[in-house]
Structure formats: structure tokens, C-alpha cells
Amino acid sequence: MASRSKSSHRWLQEHFSDPFVKKAKAEGLRSRAAYKLEELVARDKLLRPGMVVVDLGAAPGGWSQWVRQAMGDSGRVIASDILEMPTLAGVEFLHGDFREDDVAAALEQMLGNDRVDLVLSDMAPNMSGVDAVDQARAMHLSELAMEFADQHLKTGGDFLIKLFQGVGFDAYVKELRGRYNKVSIRKPEASRKRSNEVYALAQGKKAVK
């Protein structure tokens, strides 16, 4: 228990001294993760007015909040998470487990006839601390996100997803390369250096043959 307490104290110390945490608080953003997205979007000019954007694994809402601010009043931002998320003006939210068929169906219903321009996925499982289990769970969520993009992203659309390096990572990136014209692996400055998370940016969804 003592080692756990030391670890928790170290995490809290790191969290509250984090410049991105301080910046998010000062700017009224819900999470430091917004700055990861800001860097990725700015570098590749992913956002345009009037887009339809779906944010998977959205809570507490940092990405959706930033996208809505960046697009102004135009377009749609649809967010989903297994956790509750306080209301954000201009963001449609679906509360539920994306792994469940009824939640996926509800998200499809929310979209109606709209095709999606940009799919964002910052989904991650609850970590058990057992690497093999955590990686398998993370890759399962990643597969579901890719399937969603397959079904709902318009031809030429973009898909940005958080991945954890480990078993299944290389095969997943290979799958993306078969579906999109360009795939890049990025680690934003706001990502903690010790984390094995990276972001795969898949641009230009290929037409289904």
C-alpha cells in the first residue's frame, strides 16, 4: 500500500505541475488533451467550417469543446462516451458503451443521413495494470473505431485515433494504410513522454470498391 501511495502522490504532483494542465485551467478547457488535438489539427489542417465531426471516448469533453470552439456555430459535433459528460453548448452527446450494439445503433440514428468528415477517437479502456490485458482491450476499442469510420466516414474523410504501442499495433496501422491515402504516426508535445500512447492520423479515406 505504501508503494501505491507514493505512486499516487507522484502522479498528483506531476499532474498539477504540468504546464498543459495549468494552461487548460486558465483557458477554461475541460482537459489538457485539448492541446494534443490542437497540435494535430493545426499541423494537418483537419478542421473546416461546416464539418460533421464524431468524437469517440469524449469525456470529459476536452476534444469536443475545442472542436466546437474552432468551428464556431457551423457543422455538427457528436460526442460519445461510457462516462457521463456535462453538457457542452453545440455538442450532441450520447452516453453509453460503444462496445454495445444498441449504442452504436443510437449513434448511427443521431447521424441520420449525414456522412462524417472527421472521426476522432481518444478511447482507452480502464487500465488493469496487466499489460497483455490492457493492450488487448485497447486494440478492441481501436478496431471498433475503425469499423465505425469504415461505415460512416465519407470518401476523402479523415480518422484520428489514439493507439497504444504493443501487440497488434503494427497490424492495425497496416490495416489503416489499406483504407486511407496517407497514414502518419504522431506524438503531440502534450502527450506525456513516459506514455506509450501515440496518435495515428489516417487521411483521405479511399472509395469502397
Give the residue numbers annotated as catalytic, written as ranges: 162
Q: Is 97 annotated as a binding residue?
A: yes
Q: Is 134 annotated as a binding residue?
A: no
C-alpha cell at 1: 500500500
Residue of 125, 20, 122 lying closest to 63 (CA atoms):
122
Angle at 140 between CA 136 and CA 142, to 5 degrees: 115
Buried residues in 91-114 as b, exposed as e (16+ CB within 10 A):
bebbeeebeeeebbeebeeebeee
Q: Is 158 annotated as a binding residue?
A: no
Q: Is 63 annotated as a binding residue?
A: yes
Give the amino acid at 198: V
Residue of 36, 35, 3, 32 lying closest to 16 (CA atoms):
32
Strand-pairing partners, residue 172, are: none
Largest CA distance in the chain: 58
Q: Is 114 annotated as a binding residue?
A: no
Annotated binding site: 61, 63, 81, 97, 122
Annotated binding site for S-adenosyl-L-methionine: 61, 63, 81, 97, 122
